[in-house]
Amino acid sequence: MKAVGLIAEYNPFHNGHLYHLQLAKKITHADAVVVVMSGDFTQRGEPTVLDKWQRTRMALANGADLVVELPLVHAVQPADRFAKGALVILHDLGVSDLVFGAEHPDWDFPQLVEAEKKFQQAAFQNYDQTYATQFNQQLEATTGHSLRDPNDILAFSYYKEVLQAGWSMCLHPIKRRGSDYHDLQITGQIASASAIRAALEAGKTEQAKSAVPSASWPCLQDLHDLPSVERLFPILRNHLIQAPVEELAQTYSMAEGLENRLKQAADQSLDFTTLMKKAKTKRYTYAHLLRLFLYLDLEASQKQVEWTMQHPYIRLLGFNKKGQAYLHQVKKKLSLPLITKVDQTLHHGLLDLDFRAGKLYQNFTKDEQDLKRAPIMDLSSKDR
């Protein structure tokens, strides 16, 4: 069997995702669709609108055959580390093709990867601008392109990782359809996930319903009071105030001296928006701070995150008959541990951060996220 890989958050699964999945099968002639999906938190460090089990059901109901989790230490990262973590899993699963959306699928992404190699790290001397900003300035001057759209940045990261690893995986960028990534308006059948979440939050259920497949709607129709970083603010503030500065400094991705700024900001802030405004500087993007806040909530140290990143694994979330057959085909060839159930040993070891993230997510749901949860088996579904 031949498998095509998709890397996604499905937050939530909408009509654009359905188009992506169906086109991926069509252009690669794959027998099975393997999805690497973020768990309960997004790349920006925000809680997902539905938990990973509900989103797995949505994916299977809409044509995915095998769904595995992208561990938190890769899922909540900048694009390059996000891409690397997902691609390592797909490569180990024997996936031959990757299909992904891009704003500019016609760009010569390998050329852009070569351009970055020529960009000297020593040039990053202006700390009023991020590395990405300075690299983009040079990239635009030399190639005429600028990596500013999130989907183009991910496309670049996929090419970079595959080329550096020397894998034979075929990459297929496709043009995104419908609304812009950041568009908060629903104007057609294909809308951004952000727009759908905004519609749900505002109670505009008919608008949201028009932008998602019928198989996705049952999970969304009764959704109210969506999960948000604002709702986790009391946990974050308490930790910033109570923890010693030395302990905060050990948190993953905490820049030197930032712990003092955050501790002072927490003491002066009674809501999340105020905290963010007091913490924000030109040096740190909102996305960086959001990710850091999640790692603070989880009390995740630099040492623990780095160790976990060095020990990749495959966490199975769900499958149908095709997915089961494909997994049977590749199972004996896997080099990474295949995890189907989390027990006490795993949640204190390899999956500790994912387990803690699941417990944090239980501020929004009563459902246990990891311990003793078995993969979803959709074995009665017909071929789609």
In a 3-state reduction of DSSP, which class is residue 80?
helix
74 assigned binding-site residue = no
19 assigned binding-site residue = yes
136 assigned binding-site residue = no
Angle at 92 between CA 90 and CA 97, to 5 degrees: 40
339 assigned binding-site residue = no
323 assigned binding-site residue = no
17 assigned binding-site residue = yes
Cα dihedral 216, 14, 91, 27 sign: positive
Residue 181 sits at φ, ψ, to 5 deg, of -50, -40
CB 13 within 8 A of CB 71: no
- Exposure string of 196-231, with b = 16+ CB inside 10 Å and e = fewer, is bbbbbeeeeeebbbbbbbebbeebbeebeeebebee
7 assigned binding-site residue = yes
151 assigned binding-site residue = yes
- All residues at 6 or more sequence positions from 158 whose CB lies less than 8 Å from its CB, including other chains: 7, 83, 87, 98, 100, 171
Beta strands per DSSP E along the chain: 3-8, 32-38, 66-70, 97-102, 170-175, 314-320, 338-339, 376-378
Query: Please, what is the end-to-end C-alpha distance for the chain in angstroms?
Result: 16
Residue of 335, 295, 342 lying closest to 315 (CA atoms): 342
101 assigned binding-site residue = yes
In a 3-state reduction of DSSP, which class is residue 317?
strand
CB 135 within 8 A of CB 119: yes
The tokens describing 338, both together, are 């295949």
CB 16 within 8 A of CB 177: yes
DSSP conformation class of 300: -
Residue 224 sits at φ, ψ, to 5 deg, of -135, 155
126 assigned binding-site residue = no
User: Could you identify the residue written with the tokens 């010569």?
Assistant: 108
Residue list, annotated binding site for ATP: 7-20, 101, 151, 176
Binding residues: 7-20, 101, 151, 176
